[in-house]
Structure 1
């Protein structure tokens, strides 16, 4: 049943993405041939904006691009993950040659070595020259291509920061090499690995062994996640693994939820406002791009400030909101809240009235502003 719903979801995404996908042909010197690409840009992509987007390279783009791009589009719409640029590399009849490895060294050879260089020295420069892609890069593979993505880990400085390996068909020695390499990585790297209880038996055995080795690594720079899905075969596990992997990779980016609010915001040694600033600074440091302040996080910090009776945080938050959202009802709403906290209901009422002329936000509209006005008026009359 899970696989049935997943197929429906993929068909939905595929139907809606056909109009959005950009199809490009890249002439490759390394491959001596053209290579077809599928590209999805964020919904509100604007090349004039001073903003860069994480880049996701999808191998086996013939069939893996749509579920990846669909998940990105859906989750970024709800601000759970950032907007991303997704690039699918079509492999078609060249797949086996692209992903081949030497029978002695178990590293790429001939055509696969050329394909390896195509990705690193032709595809990435092309995409970054055409679009506003950041240096936070993710690479995704399934089966043979999930083995192939690991070769990029063996560069002195890996060009990808996150690896999504969905039911990889590991080359001999890859498990041992992965263990050795991940132990000594010195930059933050995400690694996601998945199999299912109905996966191909030989692959599942190898993947379980790999998990036992990788999970034993004590390297704070490696952020590792493994999933072994119930009732999932070699292809069905892809639909379950993609959102889990994205949630893992962009965990820090996510809006403040109830658990984070309770366990981190309220217990933070400094003020709730300081927690907010640090969270956004960490996002910029970790992912290489600035996250826009979102209303969900404003509400969480305001709630924590009120709960802790922290006037300093509420004052700083109000100034930040007015700076970031000067034309939104948010600025008037939080200014009014600050004056209420001071006991200055007259100024609070003025702020709420002025908010009626501003643009509504996700959670604040005219009805809420009017309700605040009536409540403040009552407080004035008491």
Structure 2
């Protein structure tokens, strides 16, 4: 029994390992010192792989890194969002200086200006030199840091594509300046803001006023989402806002669900396979990185192809699945499905049999392959 509990402990620890943080120190010329970083890489991250990952920079990393990294790890595991590289900056002893802005211009100055430059000139090159980070970058902040991240939107070529502002403690003139800037953005930009009914009163009031202003922005490149949580305070809203923000930012990336299947896939003017290709091409264009083919989307397109009697889509889908899942039962399953659809039962049976030697997938296992074999054998008799 003791050995059994030791085994469970080792198993639990091994499951948790991919989500553990890497701690690094960066020497900064701008800050005249060092900064401690927390870094979480995607599960099964391979530095030799050419694949790139969205980069999420988390200010106030001392307490904000873990909830962000945990959400990323959980949602990417279920393929709701892409795998991401998450970097937190520890600022417990320096946050007041880091987020300092001039009382006349309301822009970063002194130590605040130094930290502003550190992010773009030192931190990003440091991360991109060591890891496969894409140009799709998200920045996350809370109260003072949530105000500070807005300054990066004023750059001629903003370094971030998505901003998560949790209960921002806005500097004077910030909201009016943001409105002007948001109206002329030329790249797809996401902006999430949240407060709560029990948030700090002054902050909540300014955030609600800011929401009214930002809602007037008319720019198809600007994507905005606001939440005012019930039964939450200045700190607990963070745990509720992060998953909502990620859902907003990666809406297009999400797997095909029942609503999309019914309202978009089945009604698409082209073929189901063409819809899949367009969806993935749109994701790459929109986010700047390629989405790995997932089983959920394969099932949806196969179902639509069968429903529409589109044999050609099934044929192209089976080729695509074989390319991306060559070692999985999926490749044999969908090849068998295509051959079964065109009446080539002997070939279908051969493909289903070959699948028994491959690795099971999320939804296709040996039992399913055997059922398909028995079904085909009955048709051949």
CA distance in 1, matches of 2:267, 2:261: 9
Q: Within 5 Å, which residues of 2 pair with 1:187-266?
A: 187-266=187-266
The unaligned stretches of length 5 or more in structure 2 are 1-11
Indicate whether 1:365 and 2:354 are aligned.
Answer: no
Change (3 A) 1:19 1:304: closer
Match of 1:7 in 2: none
Match of 1:285 in 2: 285
**1:271 to partner: Cα distance:** 0.6
CA distance in 2, matches of 1:311, 1:367: 25
Higher alpha-carbon deviation: 57-66 or 326-335:
326-335
What are the superposed Cα offsets for residues 121-167 of structure 1, whole Å, 9 maximum, x if unpaired? Answer: 00000000011111000000000000000000000010000000000
Secondary structure of 2:134's counterpart equals strand
What are the superposed Cα offsets for residues 36-90 of structure 1, whole Å, 9 maximum, x if unpaired? Answer: 1111111111100011111000000010000000101111111111111110001
The unaligned stretches of length 5 or more in structure 1 are 1-11
**1:344 to partner: Cα distance:** 1.9
Change (3 A) 1:19 1:182: closer
CA distance in 1, matches of 2:160, 2:59: 13
Q: Is the 8 A contact 1:100 1:112 kept in 2?
A: yes
Q: Is the 8 A contact 2:19 2:40 kept in 1?
A: no
Match of 2:344 in 1: 344
Change (3 A) 1:248 1:190: same
**1:101 to partner: Cα distance:** 1.0
Match of 1:170 in 2: 170
Q: Is the 8 A contact 2:18 2:42 kept in 1?
A: no
What are the superposed Cα offsets for residues 331-352 of structure 1, whole Å, 9 maximum, x if unpaired? Answer: 1111111111112222211111
CA distance in 2, matches of 1:16, 1:344: 47
Match of 1:332 in 2: 332
Secondary structure of 1:184's counterpart equals coil
**1:16 to partner: Cα distance:** 4.9
Match of 1:78 in 2: 78
Q: Within 5 Å, which residues of 2 pair with 1:79-98?
A: 79-98=79-98
- How many residues were matched structurally? 369
Q: Is the 8 A contact 2:60 2:91 kept in 1?
A: yes
Secondary structure of 2:93's counterpart equals helix
CA distance in 2, matches of 1:324, 1:194: 39
**1:17 to partner: Cα distance:** 7.2
Match of 1:152 in 2: 152
CA distance in 1, matches of 2:80, 2:19: 24
Q: Is the 8 A contact 1:55 1:137 kept in 2?
A: yes
Secondary structure of 2:203's counterpart equals helix
CA distance in 1, matches of 2:115, 2:327: 50
CA distance in 1, matches of 2:87, 2:17: 13
CA distance in 1, matches of 2:123, 2:16: 26
Q: Is the 8 A contact 1:82 1:253 kept in 2?
A: yes
TM-score of the two chains, using structure 1 as the length reference:
0.94
**1:287 to partner: Cα distance:** 1.5
CA RMSD of aligned residues (A): 1.6
